[in-house]
Amino acid sequence: MAQGTKVVVWGASGHALVVADIVRLCGEYEIVGFLDDVNQARHGADFCGAPVLGGREQLDGLRDVGVDHVIVGCGDNRARLALAAIARAQGFRFATAVHPRATIASDVHVGAGSVVAAGAVINPEARIGEHVIINTCASVDHECMVQDGTHVGPGVRLGGGVTVERGAWLGIGAVVKDHVVIGAHAVIGAGAAVIADIPAHAVAYGVPATARGMVPDDQP
């Protein structure tokens, strides 16, 4: 195991597998374990080459043994933002995980706690917020603004100058026309073609994408 800065991954499901793989490939951090608040039966078991240490009750003890970095490894936007807020309030810093086979322009800023997966492309003057997922083979073109806590799903294509507001979810293979705004906490269905702005909290899908419902306005 690489001997870098110690980090714990908060989450122990499918997305955490991806996060852990990227962290290890980058070599900057040493994963000391995972946290799982969902399935207590897994506490103490091995997951992806490290132990499941327990749930959030472990945070205080982690600081005592020199672990002061966390990366939230869950795919649910609402949960990811909420867990990040808890970790920040307890004084943790956030690891950022960028796959070595992602392509990112030299002027792109990727915020703390964000994950950029294999095959992703982020072009010049794009800005990626904190605790964002740019998933496998997604592309974010020039001058896009991807705000905190969003998930740009596998194979998503964002045209130039797109804004994805806080906590929005873009399903696998969605395509977004240039200069479109995806509102905060909106959900875009898999394979959607988004050619016009989508309101905050809307659920939109289809070709062209149409708002067909609303996400409850109780997001962090």
Please state which of the four CATH numbers 3.40.50.300, 3.40.50.720, 2.160.10.10, 2.60.34.30 is assigned to the domain occupying 98-212. 2.160.10.10
If pLDDT is split at 50, 70 and 90, which confidence band does 219 have?
Answer: low
Q: Is the pLDDT of residue 115 over 70?
A: yes
DSSP labels for 26-63? H-SEEEEEEE-SS-GGGTTSEETTEEEEESGGGHHHHH
> What pLDDT score was predicted for residue 4?
79
Virtual torsion, Cα 152, 189, 208, 121, nearest 10 deg: 20
CATH class of 5-95: alpha beta
Q: Which two tokens stand for residue 121?
A: 């492309």
Give CA–CA dist 43/206, Å, rounded: 41
Mean pLDDT on 50-66: 92
Mean pLDDT on 141-156: 98
Question: What are the extents of the domains in the chain?
Answer: 5-95, 98-212
Give CA–CA dist 109/126, Å, rounded: 7
Same topology between domain 5-95 and domain 98-212: no
> What pLDDT score was predicted for residue 44?
87
What is this structure's pTM? 0.94
> What pLDDT score was predicted for residue 3?
61
Average predicted confidence (pLDDT) for the chain:
95
